[in-house]
């Protein structure tokens, strides 16, 4: 009809496309996952050192995560931990999933620090729990309900951000 506008979605932006682009721009990268790892390991290494169990912690990390090396420096530890074997076989974890996992680790160790459990007995128990809650064993062995709930949010109830293809 001349002079009348018709219903059309031509002028409506494609919000799904915009959202997809936004997700790709905000998806955790190797660098952001590495930064989250450093935050987590700074707390973990400090707490286990205070409890006199840092060597035991690093041994557990080595067994559970299979990094190329371990270090008492959070930055150096995370340089190898970010690409550790556990994150690449048998399942390849996105950097979003790794970022989320490291945040769960940070919360776990910060909780120990806040509860004044960075003692010999406290860190010994925490190291055992931490080993049970690694990416390969958490579904069957993790007994800490808060840690397990956090990991469930990362790996089972996570948003699409955690499951974007590698390389984004």
Residue 7 within any structural domain of the chain: no
Per the prediction, the chain carries an average pLDDT of 83
Q: Is the pLDDT of residue 4 over 70?
A: no
Alpha-carbon span 38 to 77, nearest angstrom: 8
Q: Looking at the predicted structure, is the pLDDT value of residue 110 above 60?
A: yes
pLDDT of residue 71 exceeding 50: yes
Highest mean pLDDT among 17-31, 38-52, 74-88, 129-143: 38-52
Question: Is 155 inside any structural domain?
Answer: yes
- For 157, the token pair is 């109830």
The total of structural domains in the chain comes to: 1
For the record, the structure tokens of 35 come out as 């930064």
Residue 42 lies in a domain: yes
Q: Which residues form the domain of 138? A: 29-163
168: confidence class by pLDDT, cuts 50, 70, 90:
very low
d(CA 36, CA 141): 24
Higher-scoring residue by pLDDT: 137, 77: 77
Residue 23 placed within a domain = no
The single residue listed with the structure tokens 């390389």 is 167
Residues of the chain with pLDDT > 90: what percent? 59
**pLDDT higher than threshold 60 for residue 23:** no
Contact 30, 78 (CB under 8 A): no
Q: How far is CA 36 from CA 55, 74, 102, 127, 149, in A?
A: 22, 11, 6, 19, 19
CA atoms of 66 and 84, how far apart (whole Å): 5
Is 64 inside any structural domain? yes
For residue 21, being part of any structural domain is answered with: no
Mean local confidence (pLDDT), 75-81: 96
Secondary structure (3-state) at 52: coil
20: left (phi over 0), alpha (psi -120 to 50) or beta: alpha
Q: Give a yes or no: residue 19 inside a domain.
A: no
Is residue 108 within 8 Å of 115, Cβ to Cβ?
no
**41 in Cβ contact with 73 (< 8 Å):** no
Is residue 18, in this structure, part of any structural domain at all?
no
**Across 108-133, average pLDDT:** 97
């Amino acid at each position: 009809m001349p002079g009348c506008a018709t219903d059309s979605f031509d002028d409506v932006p494609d919000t799904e496309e915009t959202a997809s682009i936004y997700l790709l721009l905000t998806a955790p990268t190797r660098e952001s996952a590495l930064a989250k790892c450093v935050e987590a390991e700074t707390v973990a290494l400090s707490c286990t050192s205070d409890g006199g169990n840092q060597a035991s912690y690093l041994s557990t990390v080595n067994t559970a995560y299979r990094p190329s090396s371990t270090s008492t420096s959070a930055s150096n530890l995370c340089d190898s931990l970010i690409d550790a074997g556990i994150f690449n076989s048998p399942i390849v974890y996105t950097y979003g999933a790794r970022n989320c996992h490291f945040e769960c680790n940070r919360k776990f160790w910060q909780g120990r620090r806040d509860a004044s459990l960075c003692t010999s007995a406290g860190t010994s128990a925490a190291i055992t729990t931490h080993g049970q809650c690694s990416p390969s064993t958490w579904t069957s062995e993790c007994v800490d309900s808060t840690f397990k709930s956090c990991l469930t949010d990362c790996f089972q109830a996570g948003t699409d951000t955690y499951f974007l293809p590698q390389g984004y």
